[in-house]
Amino acid sequence: MANTLQQYSDEMAAAIEKAGRSIVTIDARNHVPATGIVWSADGEIVTADHIVQRDENINVTLPDGSTHEAKILGRDPGSDLTLLKVEAKSLTPAEWAESVKVGNMVFAVGRPDEVMASWGIVCYVGGAVRGRRQLEAYIQTDVVMLPGFSGGPLVDASGRVAGINSSALGRDASVALPLSAVKPVVDALKKHGHVKRGFLGVNTQPVRLAKEIAEKLKQETGLMVIGAESDGPAAKAGVMQGDVLVALGDKALTHIGDLQAALGPGVVGKSIKAKLIRGGEVKEISVTVGERELK
């Protein structure tokens, strides 16, 4: 038994050591430094946006102990992610886990100074969140988020990064963003410096569909347009008050969250088929998605 426990303990320590080769210390605020994750070998670093509290004099300390000044490539308060760049080569990018399941053992790992870790399990794996926060997915755990852990990795038992931890995303829970939520944001930050999120210019509310249409579409509810901005993308495409939106692209619209999810990163400027009900008939129109203005 003793040998088995020691082997188990050594394997966990090896997982933390593996993750530690791909995390950095970030000094970008006036109190405890935070953590970042190496995204690319040529110096791209992803971290939590809320820990980057200045635009200049951002110092990143690499695993080898060298310190470099970083510049901001882009930031997205909606997902609490920022992409930094340091002039360094041959860094060790993090190995990412594609997914985790409820009950998986995980570690929160940080490098506010030396590598630190805390242990827990995955409590919940959630889907898209829309509102003040714009998350494609999230992971809730019971790991202890020690000071300086934000921006650092949630690590699985193999030393792979399951997500990016952020103390700003959950009031009373530890929350991390998985690769499926991080990658589209990082891609947008590299290309535009910010995340372009879609905008139709409509106010909607869920309504129950008539039985015949519900059976035809295989969905029970849609989104009634209760207001449309006169110069918004939807109105320009011909959407009118009283129309009931039932699909956008290949996504069925049964509640408001579905519409917000369909207008995520990557759809701005694209022409998308909108399926709606007008006068008891199902119609299709093309809508060119606009970009939501940041406020």
Sign of the CA dihedral running 72, 60, 89, 18: negative
Over residues 107-122, the pLDDT tens digits come to 999 999 899 999 999 9
Over residues 213-237, the pLDDT tens digits come to 999 999 999 999 999 998 999 999 9
Tokens of 77: 């308060």
Exactly one of 79, 150, 166, 167 is catalytic; name it: 150
Over residues 41-87, the pLDDT tens digits come to 999 999 999 999 999 999 999 999 999 999 999 999 989 999 999 99
Q: Which fold has domain 198-291?
A: Pdz3 Domain (2.30.42)
Q: Compute CA 99 distance to the chain's CA centroid, rounded to the nearest angstrom.
A: 14
What pLDDT is attached to residue 31? 85
Active site residue 192: no
CA atoms of 17 and 153, how far apart (whole Å): 12
pLDDT band at 262 (very low <50, low <70, confident <90, very high): confident
Claim: this prediction has a pTM higher than 0.95: no
pLDDT band at 129 (very low <50, low <70, confident <90, very high): confident
Over residues 27-37, the pLDDT tens digits come to 999 888 999 99
Q: Rounded to the nearest 5 degrees, what angle is found at the Cα of 81, between the Cα atoms of 294 and 84?
A: 105
- The CATH class for the domain spanning 1-194 reads mainly beta
Exactly one of 80, 156, 243, 258 is catalytic; name it: 80
Exactly one of 27, 49, 50, 258 is catalytic; name it: 50
Q: Domain map of the chain by residue range?
A: 1-194, 198-291
Sign of the CA dihedral running 196, 198, 201, 204: negative
Active site residue 90: no
